[in-house]
Amino acid sequence: MIFKLFASSGPVVYISPKVIFHLGHIPITNSIFYGWLVFIFVIVFLIYVAHRVKIKPARGIIQLIEYAFEFIINLINTSFEDKNKAKKYQPYFITLFLIILINNEFELFPFAGEAFKSMGWPLLRPFTADLNATFAMAAITMGYVYYSSVKESGGFRKYLGHFFVGSPFNPLYLIIGILEMTTDLTRVFSLSLRLFLNVTIGEIVIGVFSYLGQFLAPISALPFSLIEVFIMALQAYIFTVLSVMYLAIVVNHASEKEVQTA
Amino acid sequence: MFLATTISTTLLAKGLMIGGGFIGPGIGIGLIGGNYLQAVGRNPEAAKFLGQALIFVAIVELFGLLAFASIFII
């Protein structure tokens, strides 16, 4: 009797994005399709917010966006020792934070998932629940970080010098420096995997608990959905703060050396 | 009485992987939270470092999530 209550098939879990239609010969997956919709929303919404910002603060959602801006600006200003350099890097990281935040929160809407189907697969899948998307974001961010840190430290040789504690001709320092470089290269993977796994596993947890609840699904999945709202914002914050810190370590190190030699 | 005629090693591996994979991050998050509370208890001004503690929670959590993701490929 009790087994009749539960469906014979388990909860539906998707790890990878599925192709939903072809644009010419290019396959379009459901996660990039939803990503485009969210990007259009982000652009339109932020242009609307930018027109509404005044000296006398407006009420409503605009205040929330202003709060997010100031939060990230404070974070960057406290990470960098030099305030002029901090101002230079603010725009990129604010963009990164808002895009990840809004993409993550759009995961939780009921229309993202099984609601609409195309070619047998869900039509909308969260953009950040796709390893290709998070890997692209992490690769672009780390590329920007490497480019800026090479520029800030003044040349490629000086940038490589950050990895060595002492002279690179000492064999012990050489091995430690090479180990540091290898851990530096794994940052792209750790950044992308962290975001991807958190979003995907959040989806799976909500899916599993709404399956266990059956007709009580709204009640059984509610606490996990509320936790997800918090975790999604936390993951956007962590992605931003880690990439800011990777840049700030090199930039602060470079400006320290200038002070010592002067 | 039930006697197992075949043993599904995949199921066993999944169970072991989840169990072993979550022990480490569990201990780690417990240590971070405990030390944070201890620091706040000794010095209430340290309560503003909650954001930094959460970053370490996220770093530790990654290893548990990696174990969880691996059960889908075995």
- Residue the block writes with tokens 């370490």: B56
Of the candidates B51, B55, B69, the beta carbon closest to that of A197 is on B69
- CA of A64, closest CA in chain B: separation in Å? 19
> Which is higher by pLDDT, B46 or B2?
B46
d(CA A123, CA A114): 8
- Average pLDDT on B13-32 reads 91
d(CA A197, CA B25): 15
Q: Decide if A193 and B58 are in contact by the 8 Å CB cutoff.
A: no
- Residue the block writes with tokens 């201890």: B38
Q: Decide if B55 and A242 are in contact by the 8 Å CB cutoff.
A: yes
Taking an 8 Å Cβ-Cβ cutoff, which residues of chain A contact chain B?
13, 15, 190, 193-194, 197-198, 200-201, 234-235, 237-238, 241-242
Closest CA to A199 of A34, A22, A44, A6: A34
Q: What is the DSSP string of A46-109?
A: HHHHHHH--SSPPPTHHHHHHHHHHHHHHHHHHH-SSHHHHHHHHHHHHHHHHHHHHHHHGGGS
Going residue by residue through chain A (262 aa), what tens digit of pLDDT does each one get? 445 555 556 677 777 888 888 888 888 888 888 899 999 999 999 898 888 877 777 677 788 888 888 888 988 888 888 788 888 888 899 999 999 999 998 888 888 777 787 777 888 888 888 889 999 999 999 999 999 988 888 888 888 888 887 777 888 888 888 888 898 888 899 899 889 988 888 888 888 888 887 788 788 888 888 988 988 888 999 999 889 988 888 888 777 766 555 4
CB-CB neighbours of A17 under 10 Å: 24
Of the candidates B54, B55, B68, the beta carbon closest to that of A201 is on B68
ipTM of the complex: 0.72
CB-CB neighbours of B33 under 10 Å: 12
- Average pLDDT on B2-24 reads 84
CB-defined contacts A:B, below 8 A: 33
Is residue A121 classed as helix, strand or coil in its secondary structure? Answer: strand
Contact at 8 Å (CB) between A88 and A248? Answer: no
For residue A242, which residues of chain B lie inside 8 Å, CB to CB?
Answer: 55
- Average pLDDT on B56-70 reads 84
d(CA A5, CA A2): 5
Residues 6+ apart with CB under 8 A from A202: A107, A224, A228, A231, A232
The superfamily CATH assigns to domain B2-70 is F1F0 ATP synthase subunit C (1.20.20.10)
Sequence ranges of the domains in chain B = 2-70
Of the candidates A197, A234, A242, the beta carbon closest to that of B65 is on A197
